[in-house]
Every structure is written in C-alpha cells, then in structure tokens.
Amino acid sequence: MTEELIALSACQAVHRLEAGEVSPLEMIDAAAARIVEVEPQVNALPTLCLERARAHAERLMAGKGREAMGQAGWLAGLPVAIKDLMDVGGVRTTYGSPIFADHVPSASHPLVQRIERMGGVVIGKSNTPEFGAGGNTFNEVFGKTRNPWNTALTPAGSTGGGAAALAAGEIWLAHGSDHGGSLRRPATYCSVVGLRPSPGRVTRGTVNTMFSPLSVQGPMARNVPDLALFLDAMAGFCPADPMTFDAPAVSFSQAVAEAKIPLRIAYAETIGGSPIDRETRNICRAAMGIFQNLGAEVEEINIEIDDLEGTFLALRSQQFVIDRELQLQSHRDLIKPDIIWNTELGLKQSISDLAKAERSRAVLYGRFAELFGEYDLIVTPGANTPAFDVDLRHPEAIDGVKLEHYMAASLLTAAITLSASPALSLPCGFDQYGRPIGLQLVAPPRGEAPLLAAGALYEAESGLYKQLPIDPRPGTVPPVTGS
C-alpha cells in the first residue's frame, strides 16, 4: 500500500482522505516507510516529527481542528514538509546553522499555523543551506542533500531538501522560500514545480525584513494542480505581515480547472545578458513549441537590463545586513564564507549605492510593466545551468563565463524577483546527461491564477509529471562544456 499511496498526487490523496478511503495515519505511515527507503541516498528530510504528526492526525480523525474543512486549500490530513528555515513548535529547527543546531522553538510560525489549520500535517523539516543562502543545499549541521535524478549532483538551493523529497516520493507537498530563486531553481533541477508568489500573497510572519518584497514564502509540488492546492492553503491576509492581502474569491485550484491558454507569450533566452548553458537554451526554445501547439502565439524577445547583477546584489546585501550583521559580530567563526561575503558587501555600500539600486529596480519594474502590456506571459529558461557537482558551492563557469560568486548562477531568477512578479518553475525536458531542464513562466504581479492555468495546460501536454516519483539514481558528474 505504501507504493500506491506515494504514487498519488496531492489532489488525489486529499480526495481519498475526504472520502474516508484512506486515513491521515495511513498517509503518515506511507511517507515514513518511503523516507526509510530513500532518505539515505538523498538526505532531504533530516528532521522528522512523526509522533507530533500522528497526534495531529488523530485529532483530525476525532473531528477536531476541522474548522477549515470545505474551504479552498483544505488538505484533509495530508502530510507536508516545512523548510528548516521556518519554526515548527516543539520540533528542532536549525536554519541550517550550527549556531542553532539544538534550537527547538516553542511556537510555530504563522504560516505553519495556517497550513495546519488547513488540515496539513507536518511530518518533517526539509534541508536547506545555512540561513537559506546558497545555490547548493548543504550545511554544517546535516550535510549535503543530493539530487534523486543523479545523486552525484545538487538539487540546487535553497529549497533543495523540499525538491529532492518530492521527486523521491518522500512527501506530496513541500513548503519553501524564495529570494533569488530558491523555490524555482531547485524545482528545475529536480523536475518538480515550484512557485514564487507575488510579494504579500503568502505570509512571511516573523522576518526582520518585513517591508521588503524580495524574499517570499511559497509552495512546491510534483504537478501544477497540487501546487495550486497548496497555494490555496497558504494564501491570505495575515495580521503579522503588513504586506499580505486577502485570498482571491476564485481559488487557484478552480483557476487551474478552468484553464485557458494565454494568447500572447514572450520567450526570452536570457535577461540582462546573464550567461545560459548552451544545451539548456536549445531545449527551452524547442519546448516553446508546446505552447504554440496549444494555440498561443510565441514571440522571442530580448530583455536588456543595465547592471542586473549589481542592482540585485546591492538590494540583497542590504537584507543580509539586516539579518546577519549582529550574528557576524557574535558568531563569525560559525558562519559560512558566502554569508560573510554577502553581508560585508552590504556593510561596505553607501547610501548612494542603495539609492542607485532602488532607481534601477524602478526602471526594471517599468520595463516589465511595459512587456505585460503586450504579452500575457513571459517565459525564460528555468535556470542558467543544469544541476552541477554536489560538492561545489556553485558552478565554476556557465557557457565559458567564469562565475565570481554563488549568486551569478541565479541571475535569471533574481531578475524576476526584482520585478515583483509571480514565477512558476515547470519541467520541460532533460539534457544529454539526463539532467532535468525547466522553464520559468512569469505573469504580471498578483497574476498567479493565469500563471498556474497556463502551467497546467503546458504540463498536461508535455506529460513530464508522470515520471514522478522516482527511486534515487546514482551517477557521475557530467563534464563542464563551453569553458
């Protein structure tokens, strides 16, 4: 029965839970058995809370905690994973940092409370880079997470644990966060789907950067209808987060069920001149034929952005100062070099540097607003490069361009972060070495409904989601091309 339940989509599982054909306890047991089977190969869910999950399941089965039953996003006792950056009351939560290796919060984050109120049952914490900073998921507390498609490779970061757990069938839904691509790039590397919602769509609850739109919380799943279901569970106004707003009158699940293909789609091979792996470019361009077959008009465009890297790093580094300045003063020896570099970059900036970055961000937003006046959707490759060596912090080069720092491999996704647009990472194929390749679909701000609808239609046509879940596969690191 474990194999049968693990193979279900989240929507199918919720349907069976609601019909009483399976119990939340049986779902937990199925997940636990699969975790025992595959976790040694992937290290995606290093912290489990199965007894806490079973206690929650028993309350639901006794008719308690079901006030949200019937609402959009009701999960009916479905097990979920929470990224180890977010507090779950009574469960070890390390933020991937040795500073917090033994930290056990007494209360759950507002988003966890919302997910549990919607019938989600937390069974574990997914692995993350230290404080979520990095394009590869590893830390000094739990070690490396590996990509189920090839365990010699990374699942990317920072929601790499969630992406790997989904692909390997350990879980049906995974929570994550995204600053420069942390929901999108791992989804691409693991051939699952990840959504960076519009700022304010999902509560961030307790962050220090409460008034910044850069970092968001969001869902990850194996297919788009499941993703819409989890977004429905997450979305809505939260008094703890001043940027949040009410959930839509029409649920995201309904929008997917009533999907219509967008009329005009722009395809951009890159943004701001960011280097892209050559084979990735070819696969993604060819994949746009599916949208054309569905009846959309596709036009290839260039999106020129002056100093994209400088603008993003300036704004990102300011957030690192807010979050990490005091920790560098007290625990510098326990913090990894990438975080020290990013924080010190912010500390060295002048007010004029930040003002320039804000002006550049306003210009970028205006450019995207113009594009969305002409196109319903913008599509790019899902990542600058496919999955790389799990032992590297970041790729050393992309298409012959040497990378100076870890964020240089995430500029395609970082550009969309600056635009405040929702973005969906969607599988579109595999390269010659069997590494997953994906697309990044981008809609106007607060346009998650048409974005998910378009993704669902593409996904149904491509059929790639049917390959999941997979048993972890050993492999080797492909050669670096174009260097």
Task: Give residue limits of the domains in the chain.
Answer: 2-467
Confidence of residue 483 (pLDDT cuts 50, 70, 90): very low
Fold category of 2-467 in CATH = Amidase signature (AS) enzymes (3.90.1300)
421: annotated active-site residue: no
Nearest 10 degrees: Cα torsion 230, 233, 237, 239: -110
pLDDT digits (tens, 9 = 90+) for 90-118: 999 999 999 999 999 999 999 999 999 99
How far, in Å, CA of 148 to CA of 472, rounded?
Answer: 4
DSSP calls for 296-333 = -EEEEEEE--TTHHHHHHHHHHHHHHHHHHHHHHHHGG
* Averaged pLDDT of the chain: 97
Cβ neighbours of residue 4 closer than 8 Å, sequence gap 6 or more: none
Identify the active-site residue in 83, 108, 191, 419.
Answer: 83
419: annotated active-site residue: no
Look up tokens 């230290």; give the residue. Answer: 130
Number of H helices, E strands in the chain: 15, 15
Identify the active-site residue in 9, 97, 158, 212.
Answer: 158
- Among 75, 74, 77, 79, residue whose Cα is nearest residue 31: 79
The arithmetic mean of pLDDT across residues 357-361, rounded, is: 97
182: annotated active-site residue: yes
How many angstroms separate the Cα of 229 from the Cα of each of 19, 131, 172, 188? 17, 27, 11, 20
pLDDT higher than 60, residue 197: yes
Look up tokens 């600056």; give the residue. Answer: 418
How far, in Å, CA of 350 to CA of 60, rounded?
Answer: 54
Predicted pLDDT at 482: 53
Token pair, residue 147, equals: 């990509």
Predicted pLDDT at 1: 82
3-class DSSP state of 192:
coil
How far, in Å, CA of 427 to CA of 303, rounded?
Answer: 22
Q: Which helix (H) or strand (E) holds 5?
A: helix 2-7
Predicted pLDDT at 282: 98
Identify the active-site residue in 182, 317, 360, 425.
Answer: 182
pLDDT digits (tens, 9 = 90+) for 250-304: 999 999 999 999 999 999 999 999 999 999 999 999 999 999 999 999 999 999 9
How far, in Å, CA of 184 to CA of 189, rounded?
Answer: 9
3-class DSSP state of 194:
strand
Token pair, residue 293, equals: 């077959």
- The pLDDT > 90 percentage for the chain reads 98
482 vs 214, higher pLDDT? 214
pLDDT digits (tens, 9 = 90+) for 395-417: 999 999 999 888 999 999 999 99
CB contact at 8 A, 433 and 479: no
The arithmetic mean of pLDDT across residues 443-449, rounded, is: 98
Omega of the bond leading into 158 within 30 degrees of 0 (cis):
yes
The arithmetic mean of pLDDT across residues 24-51, rounded, is: 98
